[in-house]
Chains A and B, each alone.
Chain A
């Protein structure tokens, strides 16, 4: 499609921007960034994950500017990210080092280290809590004081650096063993995606995908537009430690790295039963893992990522969800919302040419009827 620039409207655009600000503040009240950070954890985590930029304060600022609209907030953060220099690549982060805050398995009831519910809405009644209408800073501080001073009758034993649930299946030979593959990952933010894609490209696009799109595609897989019957092997939420190597250092002494902080993330290992052909055409059932890892606590998205990861590892053109081009080209927030919303920008010339064609066709048809 060809594009033709339009000009004019400077004053109207300036007034429109003023109008936008008016809409944001028209009640004469402002919401501090710190308060967004304090009370909108879910939205902050979603925006950080879709922007693939980890900073709660910046995400809160973007949410404020975007008036709580996640697609606009993600756009703002992605644009900001492109102005900041990338100084380092972290050392390899291993999820077994996660300091767990929540960890469950839907496949096994008894898991080493136990099922830890942590903070979850899974077992809440979805009833509106009208008491929150009158919640004050004082009341929450009082609650916090009380909660933090609660003591158990006896000290609870347990570690929060926990073994992987699926190690159990690996030991039993029900999941094929594999060695670490240290091939440097590709980076879709530096080089455009090309097909066939690499595994690192697929996982990067999935982890920064739009939550709704990733979830809907994975839902379609289970409803029948795919070929999978997954179960959550393990879901864990917690902080991953991030370290970087000293600059210009030749040595690889991990003890000499810089620890720079922790990032909250959600990791999911989905179990998929799979038939494997062995020697002499013998078929055996094994399990494969669909992998999901997202910044922040984004459980539905991480589960959906795990499902789609497995779909894309097994291409099947019968199902759109197993087609990497279909999935990977359509789940990015900025790309999809950007394209759809650009349709409202002036398209006068292209539309006029379509209109001309329609008028000409109609005229030709009328003349044909008239001339018999």
Chain B
């Protein structure tokens, strides 16, 4: 599983899974902190749909952390003040980049978490879809 999908599952899913994956690595390897979790900004670049050009919408406040596991650097970055989550995301990122044996089973766990997220989202979508409206124009004659 590639990073874009993986990080979305980890950030939007249960914190228990993040905890479990990071702990597995921390229990078996030395985690060297390259950059303590620290705050920063991400400038958001958007495409407008009138002329399809780019502009800056504003900045998102983020927490970023970098660690090294088995000589490979991993980064954790997430919107908001989430220092513990950024640290654990960095460990998971490093472990996967280093192709550690422990990560072999992670795809299944991530896919199962993704299913839970989709199920919860579907429920929420149902409540939003209840507000779908069919307007009818009235005769004015």
Contact = CB atoms under 8 A, between A and B. Distances in A.
Interface string A40-84: 000000001101111101100000000000000000000001001
Contacts of B133: 114-117
Given A86-B41, A178-B52, A181-B51, A150 B81 contact: no
B77 A244 contact: yes
Given A116-B129, A178-B51, A291-B49, A255 B57 contact: no
A93 B57 contact: yes
Given A54-B60, A81-B59, A87 B128 contact: no
B50 A52 contact: no
**Which of the four size classes fits the interface of chain B?**
35 or more
B64 A87 contact: yes
A243 B4 contact: yes
Contacts of A260: 7, 11, 42, 60, 62, 77-79
B112 to A, nearest CB: 18
B42 A49 contact: no
Interface in B111-141: 125-137
Interface string A202-223: 0110011000000000000000
Given A114-B134, A185-B54, A291-B48, A261 B126 contact: no
B30 interface: no
Interface residues of A, number: 87
Interface in A152-177: 152, 155-158, 160, 164, 166
B58 A200 contact: no
Interface in B81-128: 81, 125-128
Contacts, number: 220
Contacts of A160: 125, 128-129
A87 B49 contact: no
A25 interface: no
Given A257-B4, A259-B7, A185 B62 contact: no
Contacts of B15: none
A228 interface: no
Nearest to A181: B53
A85 B41 contact: yes
Contacts of B78: 260-261
Contacts of A208: 58
B71 interface: no
A118 interface: yes
Contacts of B27: none
B52 A199 contact: no
B129 A156 contact: yes
Contacts of B44: 54, 90, 93, 242, 263
A264 to B, nearest CB: 11
B130 A244 contact: no
Contacts of A254: 4
A353 to B, nearest CB: 42
A265 B8 contact: no
B46 A85 contact: no
Given A57-B81, A84-B39, A199-B53, A95 B46 contact: yes
12 contacts: A51-B58, A55-B60, A86-B41, A88-B42, A89-B42, A95-B49, A114-B134, A115-B133, A148-B127, A257-B4, A258-B4, A260-B62
Interface of B: 2-5, 7-8, 11, 39-62, 64, 75, 77-81, 125-137
Given A87-B42, A267-B49, 5 more contacts: A57-B81, A95-B47, A160-B128, A199-B53, A203-B55
